[in-house]
Amino acid sequence: MRAVQVKEFGGPEVLEVLDLPAPQPDSVEVVVDVEVADVMFLDTRLRSGWGQDYFPLSLPYVPGGAIGGVVSAVGAEVDPRWLGKRVVTATAASGIGGGLPIGGYAEKSLAKAATLTEIPDELTTEQAVGLAHDGRTALAVFDRAAVQPNSWVLITAAAGGLGTLLIQLSIAAGAHVVAAARGPEKLALATRLGATEVVDYSVEGWAEHVREITGGGAAIVFDGAGGELGGAALAAAADNGLFLGYGAAAGEFADGDTDGAVARAVTVLGLFDIVGKDVDWVDITSRAQAAVAEGALEVVIGQTFPIDQVREAHAAIESRSALGRTLLTVGASL
């Protein structure tokens, strides 16, 4: 089978498309003939050698933690009715709060039967994979936030896959949304999705501008940017507000004045505070799919690359030019 392999850490040029042996499922696993693989910012970071303390990768490895395709083989303990089903799933090695996001950039990939979600007829495989990480995380984060009508919400990395969903969810809940992103194209996308106000966080003083727009700060901050941008977003939270830091689009999780936030009674939650073990990920994935099927949510897929252009896919993410989700097409998508 064809697969992308990383033999050494480095830039996009270390991504190679090779012929590798097809995987064989254990008793609780299935083989998925992959049509579409999700490409995450995290994939680019791990490829560069970052995060070995958290993600101890052994070289060589095949990147990719989420896939969509058709089940072509099942393990001895798996219900054979999965055979031939079009599914979206994490790879067998992947998992929130543990595991490694690997194995997905390949024509065939292993998945645990327990993580499979059948794709409804109303969704394309691309849409389902676009929701694989972002849909479930967006709903988990949004559920935790309990957004109220007429409240102000700040969303950073607003033009990314997760940010675009949170804009729509917050507007549907009756909130006013300030979408923060970099550059006119991303701000235009946020406006199209319903953002009340947009702010370019490449402009100095953007956090102070958010406080002016919101009349003292946002009641809820959804931070997908992290780093210094996340720290500035924390400063833009209202007193007694809620800051949910789930992303690291700037390279690291939010780095801000947590002592000052505590003094202002701002509740600060990180990703693993939000997405605990009590979240039913299969159910929440189905909820996200249903919302898209009903037309309540739009999955923004900004760019799709064939497997032979995997280096270009990583370069687009690292250049910060990507909008919404970035996908890799592997086989024939339905």
Q: CATH 3.90.180.10 occupies which residues in the chain?
A: 2-118+300-329
Please, which pLDDT band fits residue 321 given cuts at 50, 70 and 90?
confident
Which of residues 312 and 42 earns the better pLDDT score?
A: 312
Q: CATH 3.40.50.720 occupies which residues in the chain?
A: 135-274
Residue 250: pLDDT over 50:
no
**pLDDT tens-place string over residues 253-272:** 556 666 777 778 898 888 77
Q: How many CA atoms lie within 13 A of 257 on its CB side?
A: 10
**CATH for 2-118+300-329, among 3.40.30.10, 3.40.50.300, 3.90.180.10, 2.40.110.10?**
3.90.180.10
Please, which pLDDT band fits residue 242 given cuts at 50, 70 and 90?
very high
**pLDDT tens-place string over residues 108-165:** 999 999 999 999 999 999 999 999 888 988 999 999 999 999 999 999 999 999 999 9
Calculate what percentage of the chain has a pLDDT beyond 90: 75
In whole numbers, what is the pLDDT of the chain averaged over residues?
A: 91
Distance between CA atoms of residues 327 and 334, nearest Å:
15
Residue 97: pLDDT over 60:
no
**pLDDT tens-place string over residues 174-233:** 999 999 999 999 999 999 999 999 999 999 999 999 999 999 999 999 998 888 888 899
**Single-letter amino acid, residue 135:** G
pLDDT of residue 255: 60
Phi-psi region of 147 (alpha: psi -120 to 50; beta: other; left: phi over 0): beta
State which fold the 135-274 domain adopts: Rossmann fold (3.40.50)
pTM of structure = 0.89
pLDDT of residue 147: 96
Using DSSP's 3-state secondary structure scheme, residue 160 falls into: strand
Q: Which helix (H) or strand (E) holds 232?
A: helix 227-235
The answer to whether the beta carbons of residues 219 and 244 sit under 8 Å apart is no
pLDDT of residue 334: 40
